[in-house]
Structure formats: structure tokens, C-alpha cells
Amino acid sequence: MDTIINGAVIGAIAVVAAVVWREIKRINIAASAREDRLMSLAESLAQRFESLAGQYETLALDVHDIKANLNGRDAA
């Protein structure tokens, strides 16, 4: 009788271990997909920031030219 109980316990432990392993694998896959989406977002934001920085530089030069023209100086 003890052998049957031990076998049932071992079987239950094996089933629980398999379920836990499968769930951990699913969570890791989901986390990896989430990480990929976040990295893509970060790269997109970096590109947008670079674009905005370039636009800011152009705007700063334009403002400098306008101020120089208003003050009667050459914008060189």
C-alpha cells in the first residue's frame, strides 16, 4: 500500500513540475516579447529625439538670423 501512495505522490509531483515548467516557459516567452516591444519603442523614441534636436538647431539658427535682421546686422 505504501508503494501505491509513494507512486501517486511521485506522479503528482511530476505533474506539478511539468505544469510549473510549462508556465515558466510561457512567462519567459511573454517577457521576451514585451522586452522586444520596449526596445523597439526606445529606439523609436531615440530617433524622434534626434529629429527634434535637429529641428531645434535649425529653429535656433532661424531665430538668430531673424534677430540679426531686426537689429540691422548681417546674419553671418
Q: Which pLDDT tens digits describe the chain residue by residue (76 residues)?
A: 788 888 899 999 999 999 999 999 999 999 999 999 999 999 999 999 999 999 999 999 999 999 999 988 754 5
Q: Which helix (H) or strand (E) holds 74?
A: none
Q: What is the pLDDT of residue 3?
A: 87
Q: What is the pLDDT of residue 74?
A: 58
Q: pTM for the whole thing? A: 0.56
Q: Can you tell me the distance from the alpha carbon of 64 to that of 44, in angstroms, rounded to the nearest whole number?
A: 30
